[in-house]
Amino acid sequence: TLSSDIYPYNLSEIADATIKLLKNPNARIRLIPDLPTGCDIIVKDDYTFLMQSSFDVDSVNYIITIKNTPYLKYLDDIDSRLREIQDSPNPIKEIISADDESELIEDKIRYVIRCKPCNLYQVVNTLFKRVPGFRASISTRNMIVVDSSFHTREYDIRQILCAWIKNRLYEKRAWFLRELVAKTTECNMLEGKAFMMSPTNLEKTIKIFRSCKSRDQIIPSLVKEYKGHVTTSQANYISELRMYQLTDGEYKKTLELIDKIRKEINDITETVEKPEKIRDVIIDEIKTIKSKYGTPRKSKILNLGNEEAVNISVVQILTDGSILFGETENPEHLSSDITPIS
């Protein structure tokens, strides 16, 4: 059995990265997971991250408030592990009490740690090391089945997006080709209808309708009357009309509809023949999805070794074409090839 943990990313960031790859397939991108619980993220390398509970420190009253744990599945581990640590021969001596106050705040996780006068950041670090539910390592390389062969490969998020783009381009082109066939067929039917309802042929068509007792008689009669100009399919199409629809007004409406469909056929043909047109359509779809469903990032991105969280929402790597989504107030902690957006 193959199992895969694909960690969530921010939809808006995924949309921007996908658009960047559609415009430049060789672009290098870097995306950081965005956890729905709002826990913090520490970047270790390109594919490995730590998800960590966020916390507040009250240095006056020596209180640590831990919130936004990595995943709800760790909650039982947190409660039991905190009790085990404090009841063990090797407790965290600085801690006076550790209380789960999550029930006091609806749909929120909160642990309040009251301490003796001490370095609270050292206590936090010790807690994160000894309590599995406060910090966990994740990898963003996943085993993925990408085609009908059911062969699996290890993909990172960029490779997953590239595989999606390849498949989406194929599907979108196939959709346009189906539309082209449908529009061409419809136009052909309307052209036959217009021919049989033209001023020179309308009286003959009405006469055939009146002389025939059923549709089964109308179809061969029309084909025979307009031999070489009308197909059986076109005759079948117009035979569905009622007598009151065989008018000059209906003829003019048909001509207008033919012009409209011919323009649509030209547009679709141009799109199918130019791959960049299909890319533009997909980009517009992605932008629409982003505008409807995109949300701000929930998980802050922390710099390893910093005691305090760095507020991040948008960062771009400009020197080599890569992008890292997030915004930092402390650019000196970022790698040298990352420059904050002004």
**What value does the CA radius of gyration of the chain take, rounded to a whole number of Å?**
33
318: nearest Cα among 333, 304, 302, 337: 337
Given a cut of 70, is residue 105 above it in pLDDT?
no
With residue 161 as reference, give the H or E element that holds it: helix 157-196
Q: Which of 74-88, 225-239, 252-266 has the lowest mean pLDDT?
A: 74-88
Greater confidence (83 vs 310) lies with 83
Given a cut of 60, is residue 117 above it in pLDDT?
yes
With residue 281 as reference, give the H or E element that holds it: helix 275-293
**Residue found by looking up tokens 């420059």 in the block:** 339
pLDDT in tens, 274-305: 989 999 999 999 999 999 999 999 998 886 44
Q: Is 139 a domain residue?
A: no
Q: What is the model's pLDDT at position 35?
A: 87
75 and 122 share one domain: yes
Cα separation, 56 vs 103, whole angstroms? 18
Compute the average pLDDT of residues 241-257: 92
Q: What is the model's pLDDT at position 310?
A: 37
Cα separation, 96 vs 113, whole angstroms? 8
Given a cut of 50, is residue 150 above it in pLDDT?
yes
- Using an 8 Å Cβ cutoff, are 109 and 67 in contact? yes
**Final residue of a structural domain among 263, 281, 299:** 281
Q: Is 317 a domain residue?
A: no
What total number of domains does the chain contain? 2
Q: What is the CATH number of the domain that holds 240?
A: 1.10.268.10
- Using an 8 Å Cβ cutoff, are 186 and 233 in contact? no
Greater confidence (183 vs 145) lies with 183
- Using an 8 Å Cβ cutoff, are 96 and 115 in contact? yes
Compute the average pLDDT of residues 162-188: 95
Backbone angles phi, psi at 233, to 5 degrees: -65, -40
178 and 244 share one domain: yes
Given a cut of 60, is residue 1 above it in pLDDT?
no
Residue 189: which residues within 8 A CB-CB, separation 6 or more? 233, 234, 237
Q: What average pLDDT does the structure give for the chain?
A: 82
The band of 226, judged by pLDDT with boundaries at 50, 70 and 90, is very high
Range of the domain at 182: 172-281
274 and 179 share one domain: yes
Q: What is the model's pLDDT at position 43?
A: 84
Q: What is the model's pLDDT at position 82?
A: 83
Cα separation, 309 vs 328, whole angstroms? 10
Q: What is the model's pLDDT at position 194?
A: 96
Q: How far apart are the first and last CA of the chain?
A: 48
111 and 59 share one domain: yes
